[in-house]
């Protein structure tokens, strides 16, 4: 029985194992949209322990951190191991038009939802237009 050796067949697996050992934070995919008077951010964090999720606000910078621990089963032979473990990080600069004191967050079914309300001063409003015809003259 002849066996051939293909040095490139395991290149992806090797590269992934080498790069996986680097402790750089992983990027989490997000959706961000405006819904009426609020912004809604959904971040995919499947398999994350809710206790490891940290949402911080420093000035106008919103930071989301989370940690996924590796499955450390002993005595098994892994055939595939694609669910990366490690820390996840995402940062957003918030503008002046949001209410920083009313931001809220929840985690359900592997999705972190952050609600960022629009501030009152940033909401559309009607401005009254004055004209000289509407003013009364005062005589002394």
* DSSP SS3 for 118: strand
User: What is the pLDDT, as a whole number, of residue 96?
Assistant: 85
Closest CA to 66 of 113, 115, 25: 25
Domains of the chain: 23-70+84-122 (2.60.40.790)
Each residue's pLDDT, cut to its tens digit, for the chain (140 residues) gives: 455 556 565 665 566 555 555 556 677 899 999 999 999 999 999 989 999 999 999 988 999 999 988 888 889 888 887 777 889 999 999 988 899 999 999 999 999 999 999 987 766 778 888 887 755 555 55
User: What is the pLDDT, as a whole number, of residue 43?
Assistant: 96
User: What is the pLDDT, as a whole number, of residue 15?
Assistant: 61
Cβ pair 100, 120 in contact under 8 A: no
* H-helix or E-strand spanning residue 64: strand 61-68
Q: End-to-end CA distance of the chain: give it in Å, rounded.
A: 117
Q: What is the rounded distance in angstroms from the CA atom of residue 10 to the CA atom of residue 80?
A: 12
* H-helix or E-strand spanning residue 92: strand 86-93
92 beta partners:
62
User: What is the pLDDT, as a whole number, of residue 23?
Assistant: 57
User: What is the pLDDT, as a whole number, of residue 67?
Assistant: 92
Give CA separation, 139 vs 84, 132, 133, 136, in Å: 81, 16, 16, 10
* H-helix or E-strand spanning residue 17: helix 11-20
Q: What is the rounded distance in angstroms from the CA atom of residue 55 to the CA atom of residue 79?
A: 35
């Amino acid at each position: 029985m002849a066996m051939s050796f293909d040095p490139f067949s395991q290149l992806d697996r090797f590269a992934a194992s080498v790069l996986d050992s680097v402790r750089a934070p992983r990027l989490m995919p997000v959706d961000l949209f405006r819904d009426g008077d609020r912004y809604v951010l959904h971040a995919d964090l499947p398999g994350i322990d809710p206790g490891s999720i940290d949402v911080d606000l420093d000035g106008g910078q919103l930071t989301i951190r989370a940690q996924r621990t590796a499955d450390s089963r002993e005595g098994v032979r892994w055939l595939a191991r694609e669910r990366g473990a490690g820390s996840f990080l995402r940062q957003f600069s918030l503008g002046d038009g949001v209410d920083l004191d009313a931001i809220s967050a929840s985690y359900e079914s592997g999705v972190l939802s952050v609600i960022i309300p629009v501030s009152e001063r940033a909401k559309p409003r009607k401005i009254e237009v004055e004209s000289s015809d509407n003013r009364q003259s005062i005589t002394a």
